[in-house]
């Protein structure tokens, strides 16, 4: 059917609401309670529109489009209705923008700048409510900032289906809270912070750590499990600070799990292997990753194909797997290549929403590469070879996030039976100090430091771009494969924390100016 939005005729599907039609047409509209991933509540009364032939303004979220409907939200009638609706939301809202974590990305500030800019007429004292309410292990509530949009309540009812939250009391004493004896403690709890349009719900992890206008952001693919959620990472020269979901209809919709939000911690410098270490005949030396890989080539080229093995975790890109497997098959003539499967007992589990037992982003990609090269070896074959002494040299592409590999220390002990171990991975792990014999520890790049492709559980190929550089000397598995094969590698000039996919500085500057204006005016 055809409808006209602010003078533009567009075509929409049957059952489309006016607010959805406005999103489709690219028109801005004031709203708080409506969210495309939740049911319609219609409680904020801000998404007012004027419909030709209707004497009263209507809410856009719960009014369906009809054939030939003509709608606008730019008339003085609409703007006046929105302004007074906004005034009611601000009646009891505290004047704490300068100390609020939401400043810079707050829906309330955005709406005020577009529809407000008025002198408040409320003379009565503001209603005081609870502040710094501990809802659970991940979220803190400031009840005074809450505008009762009910998004968080609907999320726990409709998406996580855990029902921890509700609205309690009546009138201007109403507050969001948890039911008695219950805390907000589910595997998707942080989504309530994302969808809160004000600073009422804040993340314990991110709270007071950074101002958002000091952060750059870039999109990538979560490497926490085989779902492969589309996400946005937030960072600056000090490191990464948070991860939030990006809408992807095919994969994660509007949401992501709390486990995936913690993955930024494994890419920051304090969790990373910064320099390669080589221990040969009991003498340990620290060197660059490239030099260590070249030194390892001396051992690899002198090893027989039958004594050489490669162990892969499914945490690297398709391109990296293809490079290193090709190197072993073609350069070293070895097909002793093994898939290190983590979490075997729950590998195929699924919680019905997003979380999967396979804690690798690219299991399908690794299996595809192994099949392409005719690799059929099993872990039992490797265990037998190590026990008998037939396998003397092992190259390992270890996991980026070792927390999801409960058998990490056991695998290290087993692989230590080899005379030579070349272990490549991004993150530190104390268990690696237990490696015996001749050992090469080589730092690799994390998923935010490279371009590549992950194939998720459903076989969907998702390409992603490099976000920034954290450890400039670390290698991709592709680069390591070339060096292990004795080939030269031209390394780019190190540019730590130089963004490659980010918001423009102008956007950041505008956000800062906007907040400074709001703080000076004091209307919030």
Which CATH number is 55's domain given? 3.10.20.740
Residues 293 and 263 in one domain: no
Residues 265 and 295 in one domain: no
The answer to whether position 97 is within a domain reads no
pLDDT at res. 515: 45
Q: Which domain holds residue 406?
A: 272-484
pLDDT at res. 490: 65
Closest CA to 465 of 221, 261, 132, 239: 221
pLDDT at res. 510: 47
What does the block give as tokens for 437? 């014999």
3-state secondary structure of 25: helix
**Integer Cα distance of 240 and 246 in angstroms:** 17
Residues 209 and 146 in one domain: yes
Residues 326 and 202 in one domain: no
Please give the DSSP secondary-structure letter assigned to residue 462: E
Phi, psi dihedrals of residue 430, rounded to the nearest 5°:
-60, -30
Residues 265 and 278 in one domain: no
The answer to whether position 178 is within a domain reads yes
What does the block give as tokens for 235? 């960072």
The answer to whether position 389 is within a domain reads yes
Name every residue whose Cβ is closer than 8 Å to that of residue 477 and which is 6 or more positions away in sequence: 316, 317, 320, 321, 323, 324, 397, 424, 444
pLDDT at res. 502: 47
Contact at 8 Å (CB) between 106 and 193? no
Label residue 232 exposed, middle or buried (CB < 10 Å: 0-12, 13-18, 19+): middle
Of 90, 109, 133, the one marking the end of a domain is 90
Contact at 8 Å (CB) between 360 and 342? yes
pLDDT at res. 143: 95
pLDDT at res. 404: 80
Query: Please, where are the H alpha helices in 209-279?
Result: 258-261
Tens-level pLDDT at each residue, the chain (524 residues): 999 999 999 999 999 999 999 999 999 999 999 999 999 999 999 999 999 999 999 999 999 999 999 999 999 999 989 988 888 888 888 888 889 999 999 988 888 888 776 676 777 888 899 999 999 999 999 999 999 999 999 999 999 999 999 999 998 899 999 999 999 999 999 999 999 999 999 999 999 999 999 999 999 999 999 999 999 999 999 999 999 999 999 999 999 999 999 999 999 999 999 999 999 998 999 999 999 999 999 999 999 999 999 999 999 999 999 999 999 999 999 999 999 998 777 889 999 999 999 999 999 999 999 999 999 999 999 999 999 999 999 999 999 887 788 889 999 999 999 999 999 999 999 999 989 889 999 999 999 999 999 999 999 999 999 999 999 999 999 999 999 999 887 655 555 554 445 444 444 444 444 444 333 333 33
The answer to whether position 377 is within a domain reads yes
pLDDT at res. 275: 95
* CATH number of residue 347's parent domain: 3.40.50.740
pLDDT at res. 74: 92
pLDDT at res. 73: 93
State the angle between helix axes of 289-302 and 477-484 in degrees (0 to 180), rounded to the nearest 10.
50
**Integer Cα distance of 375 and 371 in angstroms:** 6
**What single string gives the DSSP state of each residue in 384-432?**
HHHHHT---EEEEE--S-GGG-TTHHHHHHHHTTSSEEEEEESB--GGG
For the chain, the domain total comes to 3
Of 48, 69, 90, the one marking the end of a domain is 90
* CATH number of residue 160's parent domain: 3.30.70.20
The answer to whether position 210 is within a domain reads yes
Residues 373 and 469 in one domain: yes
Residues 21 and 145 in one domain: no
Residues 391 and 264 in one domain: no
| pTM given for the model | 0.88
Give the gyration radius of the chain's Cα atoms.
27
Contact at 8 Å (CB) between 318 and 369? yes
Residues 20 and 158 in one domain: no
216 forms beta bridges with 235
Residues 226 and 314 in one domain: no
pLDDT at res. 507: 42
3-state secondary structure of 259: helix
Closest CA to 177 of 187, 190, 185, 168: 168
The answer to whether position 149 is within a domain reads yes
pLDDT at res. 257: 96
Residues 409 and 396 in one domain: yes
Where b means 16+ CB within 10 Å and e means fewer, 159-172 reads bbebebbbeeeeee
The answer to whether position 355 is within a domain reads yes
What does the block give as tokens for 166? 């509700």
Residues 81 and 33 in one domain: yes
The answer to whether position 110 is within a domain reads no
Of 34, 66, 90, the one marking the end of a domain is 90
Contact at 8 Å (CB) between 294 and 486? yes
pLDDT at res. 505: 43
């Amino acid at each position: 059917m055809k409808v006209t939005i602010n003078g533009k005729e567009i075509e929409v599907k049957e059952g489309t609401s006016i607010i959805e039609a406005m999103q489709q047409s690219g028109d801005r509209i004031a709203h708080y309670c409506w969210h495309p991933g939740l049911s319609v509540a219609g409680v904020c009364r801000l998404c007012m529109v004027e419909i030709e032939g209707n004497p009263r303004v209507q809410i856009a979220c719960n009014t369906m489009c009809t054939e030939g409907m003509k709608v606008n939200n730019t008339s003085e009638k609409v703007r006046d209705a929105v302004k007074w609706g906004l005034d009611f939301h601000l009646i009891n809202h505290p004047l704490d923008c300068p100390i609020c974590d939401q400043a810079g990305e707050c829906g309330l500030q955005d709406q005020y700048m577009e529809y407000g800019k008025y002198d408040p007429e409320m003379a009565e004292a503001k209603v005081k409510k609870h502040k710094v309410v501990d809802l659970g292990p991940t979220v803190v509530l400031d009840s005074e900032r809450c505008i009762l949009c009910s998004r968080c309540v609907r999320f726990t009812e409709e998406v996580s289906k855990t029902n921890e939250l509700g609205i309690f009391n009546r009138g201007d004493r109403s507050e969001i809270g948890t039911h008695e004896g219950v805390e907000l403690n589910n595997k998707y709890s942080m989504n309530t912070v994302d969808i809160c349009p004000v600073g009422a719900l804040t993340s314990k992890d991110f709270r007071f750590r950074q101002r958002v206008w000091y952060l750059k952001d870039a999109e990538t693919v979560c490497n926490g499990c085989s779902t492969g959620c589309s996400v946005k990472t937030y960072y600056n020269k000090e490191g990464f600070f948070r991860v939030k979901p990006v809408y992807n209809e095919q994969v994660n919709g509007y949401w992501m799990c709390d486990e995936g939000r913690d993955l930024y911690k494994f890419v920051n410098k304090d969790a990373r292997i910064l320099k390669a270490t080589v221990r040969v005949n009991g003498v340990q030396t620290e060197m660059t990753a490239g030099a260590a890989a070249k030194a390892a080539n001396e051992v690899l080229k002198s090893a027989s194909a039958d004594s050489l093995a490669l162990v892969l975790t499914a945490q690297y890109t398709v391109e990296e797997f293809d490079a290193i497997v090709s190197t072993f098959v073609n350069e070293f003539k070895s097909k002793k290549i093994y898939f290190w499967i983590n979490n075997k007992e729950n590998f195929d589990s699924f919680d019905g929403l997003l979380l999967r037992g396979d804690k690798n982003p690219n299991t399908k990609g690794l299996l595809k590469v192994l099949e392409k090269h005719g690799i059929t070896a099993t872990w039992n074959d490797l265990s037998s070879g190590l026990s008998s002494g037939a396998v003397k040299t092992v190259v390992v592409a270890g996991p980026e996030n070792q927390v999801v590999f409960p058998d990490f220390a056991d695998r290290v002990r087993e692989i230590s039976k080899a005379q030579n171990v070349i272990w490549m991975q991004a993150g530190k792990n104390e268990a690696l100090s237990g490696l015996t014999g001749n050992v090469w520890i080589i730092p690799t790049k994390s998923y935010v430091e490279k371009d590549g492709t992950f194939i998720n559980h459903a076989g969907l190929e998702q390409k992603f771009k490099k976000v920034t550089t954290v450890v400039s000397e670390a290698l991709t598995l592709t680069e390591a494969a070339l060096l292990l094969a004795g080939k030269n590698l031209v390394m780019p000039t190190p540019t730590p924390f130089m963004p490659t996919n980010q918001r423009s500085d102008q956007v950041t500057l505008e956000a800062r100016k906007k907040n400074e204006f709001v703080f000076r005016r004091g209307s919030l």
